[in-house]
Structure 1
Amino acid sequence: MKQYFITGCLIGIAAIGNLSAQSPALRVYKMNTLKQAQSFFHYKGKNKQIISGHRGGITKGFPENSIETFENTLKYTEAFYEVDPRMTKDSVVVLLHDATLDRVTTGKGNISDHTFAELQQLRLKDRDGNVTAARIPTLMDAIKWSKGKTILNLDNKGVAFETIAKIIRESGNPLVMLTIHSPEQARFYLDQNPESIFSVHILSKKSFDAYEAAGIPWKNMIAYIGPKFTPENRELLKLLHGKGVMCMISAAPTTDKLTDEAERAGGYRAIFSEGADILESDLPIEVAAAIKKK
């Protein structure tokens, strides 16, 4: 019996070692403060190509805007994530892109018509409509999970800025990026925390001039300049780089839609070669593979 017990233990230890070897470590960002993030996202002329997972990424078996997907992506590549905070009927802020439940959950109707407890009875679906074990996460849980791993970029889906700021303060993790559409929105968050970092929509010279006139610090932001390169945003790229601002192109509505994987990979590489510092994609794992192949 003693021999069987020892043998069993050795087998168990070997099995645990095997599982550890098969589970890749997460590829995390080694930063813990907003000042470190400002330095990381500062354009220096020869920056590392950075990947942003749109809604965390869209992968078979892993639903968008879920902690399970965030973690899965980090097994393959460093990335930060654009996510979508929305409010439930009982004022809990959760992550879900759509205002309705139908497309990505097993439920139906408006998210604002359901309490958080009701939403927890649902399951999230992957990109093909397959039901997964994942549930809708709260923004608070997602921010707490991201600490020491990555950065969440919070899109504006109608949740009051005061509510977002309160959740960030209470989470114990200030390392959160905020999508901003105007200097006034940036100023609100800067009044809360002067070190706040933003993903700013700058799609025209007029918009660039507005941020300059308002005195919003360029060191606090990255700039989204569109879904593809155009003559206008190539000029913006130069202006923003001159201010030390990294520029982001989103492949979600463009290159991600190509049906051929090799063609997508070539498109991702082209976006970076044309000067983008950050590529936002529904397929961050594919983007990472395309860069590695190059």
Structure 2
Amino acid sequence: MTLIFAHRGYSHLFPENTMKAFKEAEYAGSDGIELDVQLTKDGEIVVIHDEKVDRTTNGKGFVKDFTFNELRKLDASYPKKTFLKKEPIPSLYEVLEWMKTNHIICNIELKNGIFPYEGMEEKVIALIRAYNMTDRVVLSSFNHYSIVNCYRMAPEIETAPLFSEGLYMPWIYAESIGAKSIHPKYTIAKTELIKASMEYGIAVRPYTVNKENTMHRLFSAGCSAFITDDPVKAIKIREQYC
């Protein structure tokens, strides 16, 4: 069965990368969630996508220039004006604590392409191990050096390179860097590529799949999983294939 991962949580309806969005994704029946991590000025792992807080909060500036306590005062529900309740930026600790109450799989994307956060991989891995979540987490990044670094430090945690452009025989590339899966942009995740990768033993989880016709194609191909903003739509379509 093709698994459904909620992109930054149930971000179609709820503020992205917040505990509210993650919990709503679980209630909706998602198999997994996808989130992004960065480091604060004082070295805390926080869940936020952009290097700046401007788009997703009522603050301004780079994540790396805020302390954890300063970041927590910002409102991450700010862009979704319909929300009356303030939503803070979560820490990865908070997400893993919540994961103890369910069976959700978590894809953690390391946002270290623009700012190479010193020691972030070590901190993320230490936290995953402390929570005994090594079999429920996938580490992904567009920074493939980081993915290799993670694999060397923690071969027991699944890694997945992210890529948005065509890669020749990506299953061979994945194997060469110790990755058990690939996360291609959906536009380059052709059906032949999906099938060839999976036959080779490499899982394929395209991102970010919101169009119904693409969802139908991926379910028909028996794709391992895909990442979507709207897990409810994906679950409804999946029912036709079960």
User: Taking structure 1 as the reference length, what is the TM-score of the superposition?
Assistant: 0.68
Q: What is aligned with 2:22? A: 70
Q: CA deviation at 1:287?
A: 1.2
Q: Distance in 2 between matches of 1:208 and 1:73?
A: 29
Q: Any stretches of 5+ residues in structure 1 without a counterpart?
A: 1-47, 257-263
| CA distance in structure 2 between the aligned counterparts of 1:234 and 1:293, rounded to whole angstroms | 19
The structural deviation recorded for 1:155 is: 0.8
Distance in 2 (CA, whole Å) between partners of 1:184 and 1:98 is: 20
2:71 aligned with 1:112? no
Q: Percent identity?
A: 23
Q: CA RMSD for the aligned pairs?
A: 2.6
**1:209 alignment partner AA:** I
Other-structure match for 2:45: 93
Q: For the residues of structure 2 that align with 1:152 and 1:50, how far apart are their CA atoms?
A: 12
Choose from 72, 93, 117 the match for 1:140. Answer: 93
Hey, what does 1:223 align to over in structure 2?
Answer: 182
Q: Do the aligned partners of residues 69 and 126 (structure 1) sit closer, same or farther apart at CA in structure 2, a change above 3 Å counting?
A: farther
Deviation, structure 1 residue 201: 3.4
Residue type of the alignment partner of 1:228: T
The residue type equivalent to 1:279 in the other structure is F
Q: Give the Å deviation of 1:96.
A: 0.6
1:201 and 2:155 correspond: no
Larger radius of gyration: 1
Aligned partners of 2:44 and 2:91 also within 8 Å: yes
Tell me the equivalent position of 2:203.
246
Deviation at 1:229, TM superposition (A): 5.0
- Partner residue, 2:103: 149
Structure (1 or 2) with the greater helix fraction: 1
2:172 partner amino acid: D
Q: How do 1:39-58 and structure 2 match up within 5 A?
A: 48-58=1-11
Gaps of 5+ in 2: none
TM-score, length of structure 2 as denominator length? 0.81
Change (3 A) 1:127 1:277: farther
CA distance in structure 2 between the partners assigned to 1:208 and 1:245 by the alignment: 6
Quick one: distance in 2 between partners of 1:274 and 1:234? 6
Conservation of the 8 A alpha-carbon contact between 2:170 and 2:197: no
The equivalent of 1:171 in structure 2 is 131
Displacement of 1:151: 1.8
Q: CA deviation at 1:95?
A: 0.4
Residues in 2 aligned to 1:109 and 1:151: alpha-carbon distance in whole angstroms: 31
- CA shift, 1:183, in A, is 6.7
SS in 2 for 1:155: strand
Whether the 8 Å CA contact 2:174–2:180 is kept in 1: the answer is no
